[in-house]
Chains A and B, each alone.
Chain A
């Protein structure tokens, strides 16, 4: 786990709710989510596929598809609420102050232009610079993510998967954003490449005192990159707290199952927990606690009433009627 610097919030999310309209009704992908990210802090968002991690990221950047809409809530970036901003106003914040590495950064470059030209274009759209300065900046960025500068003038298909992912990070860092959101940036890569990218992200984060939201379904990766962890289930954050607290004393049954379902190469070989059933359909999520159909501890009240937020030590909390003993 990396060291943390000061923690005055850069981002405060309040009661954020985002739905996708479909022919069969609204998909409640983000539902009443609140959290804060301090300057230089890294927050890991973890959860199964389909629980709304990417949807939160796209909402924060306001890069929603046509059928996605913010229903409620505020996105305060250094005090400015992004939620009501027009696309024109939003453009002055996006990439400049809040940037993202996409889940499929592999495919986020246009195949007909060189990668260098695409980063230069991004730079020149957002900060006025002359071509020489831009080129110098691209060199710096390549250096920052350990890419060979001789690749600046090459096309995306000449990059391996890991190199493209690093170029995606370089592009996101072009304007030195205050907050970087990285959505599963290493999920498709193998461990040695993943190790290098995680290391570079941590270095860059410290160098720039940048805040980071790191999204993954891999608990081990989350343990390594984040100070604070938010566990998501079915469009909601169900547990939040310092990484050590979440790992040592999980309070929410879902967090506990998620962790024991993870095979490990080190330490004793434990039975892998089975999470029965599938994540709920967010068109029509379960009543009360959304985890109740899969929860071994569910009682009647879990099926009917929304669980309260139970506080643990420090910033730790979980939304559960029957939290696990710390």
Chain B
């Protein structure tokens, strides 16, 4: 499935040194001098029509990155250059007012949890029509028509039987389809999809994955696809980036990264995936502990405390830069 889309030459999005530091629990009378480095200087490009995957453990900064890319959060550093092909590229991190509103029409987000992201007191029609209303994207009289067409596209047919239902009257898979319809109804060219299938069952999940892919082809959408499920990333994304504590530690073609991982963290993630074959034995996972909160992290490699091959050099040097290694991927590790 991945890679079936036309990939243009000029990137749609170029992320440069993007950073988001949250002040740690500050007291009202005192400014905090500690910071959670949720996203800590990441750079990558996303080509037009591409599906780019962001993978990693819970708490590594995936959702925060996604929110920064659609300006639902403001970065504390770095740039996001957006080039819709209709003019000069713009740095969306400084957009205000009408310019920001115009950007929102092109960039949308599908949220992590279909149970929380839909307002329980709004009908499906109201939910899906909202971006049309906010953006004044079409005359009010056409909204019903646009929403119905969108519901049909996401497989909620016949639309008339869904328009005036409430979220609690839908199954998990149907709710996720509504969330997709809402994000796509104003025809964005860029969509951040945050774990769009992690709450769903196998059977429904395949349906939603296929749907998102066919919509990407029909409507020319590029996705930033966030997931902690490497198998899902394999099916949805032509390239992936593996995140660890706010940093990208490995990035490249999905098959190269998954079949021949170079970073010890990527290797650990892969070895933790259960194999659907009772006769197979999996190599033991070689890392201990859990993801810490990146609160004022020391200047060395972010993975140092859990790394099975760390040495004194890693301890005494700054976080390693991303460099070309293996089958064309880029890796941030002194010893890979």
Contacts and interface: CB of A to CB of B under 8 A. Distances in A.
A12 B277 CA distance: 27
B269 A272 contact: no
B276 A275 contact: no
A263 interface: yes
10 contacts: A190-B58, A191-B269, A191-B274, A194-B272, A220-B276, A224-B278, A261-B205, A262-B231, A263-B235, A269-B234
Given A162-B290, A223-B276, A274 B234 contact: no
B188 interface: no
A220 B206 contact: no
A222 B207 CA distance: 22
B275 A272 contact: no
Contact of B276 (A192, A259, A273): A259
B232 interface: yes
Contacts of B57: 190-193
A151 interface: no
B268 A220 contact: no
A263 B231 contact: yes
Given A191-B269, A223-B276, A263 B171 contact: no
A297 to B, nearest CB: 17
B210 A274 contact: yes
Contacts of B171: 278
Given A258-B203, A261-B206, 20 more contacts: A1-B279, A189-B58, A190-B228, A191-B57, A191-B230, A191-B272, A192-B268, A194-B272, A219-B276, A220-B273, A220-B276, A221-B274, A224-B275, A247-B277, A257-B203, A258-B202, A263-B232, A264-B275, A265-B270, A274-B207
Interface string B203-221: 1111101100000000000
A244 interface: yes
Contacts of B205: 261
A192 B266 CA distance: 11
Contacts of A81: none
A191 B228 contact: yes
B172 interface: yes
Interface in A247-290: 247, 257-259, 261-266, 269, 272-275, 278-279
Nearest to B233: A265
Interface of A: 1, 48-49, 160-162, 189-196, 198, 217-221, 223-224, 243-244, 247, 257-259, 261-266, 269, 272-275, 278-279
Interface centre among A189, A192, A273 (most CB of B within 10 A): A192
B58 A195 contact: no
A218 B274 contact: yes
A194 B231 CA distance: 15
Contact of A195 (B201, B204, B210, B285): B285
B15 interface: no
Contacts of A194: 272, 274
Contact of B209 (A193, A224, A272): A272
A220 B209 contact: no
A223 B282 CA distance: 12
Contacts of A259: 276
Given A272-B209, A274-B207, A224 B285 contact: no
Contacts of B275: 220, 223-224, 264, 266
B163 interface: no
A224 B274 contact: yes
A219 to B, nearest CB: 5
A120 B232 CA distance: 41
Contacts of B269: 191-192
A261 B231 contact: no
A247 B201 contact: no
Nearest to A269: B234
B144 interface: no
B57 to A, nearest CB: 5
B285 A244 contact: no
A266 B276 CA distance: 10
A264 B279 CA distance: 16
Interface in B100-139: none
A323 B230 CA distance: 33
Interface in B173-230: 173, 201-207, 209-210, 228-230
A159 to B, nearest CB: 11
B230 A265 contact: yes
B224 to A, nearest CB: 19
A223 B277 contact: yes
Contacts of B322: none
B274 A261 contact: no
Interface in B246-300: 258, 268-270, 272-280, 282, 285, 287, 290
A88 B279 CA distance: 44
Contacts of A49: 172, 201
Contacts of A191: 57, 228, 230, 269, 272-274
Contact of A272 (B172, B206, B229, B258): B206
B290 A193 contact: yes
Contact of B285 (A1, A192, A262): A192
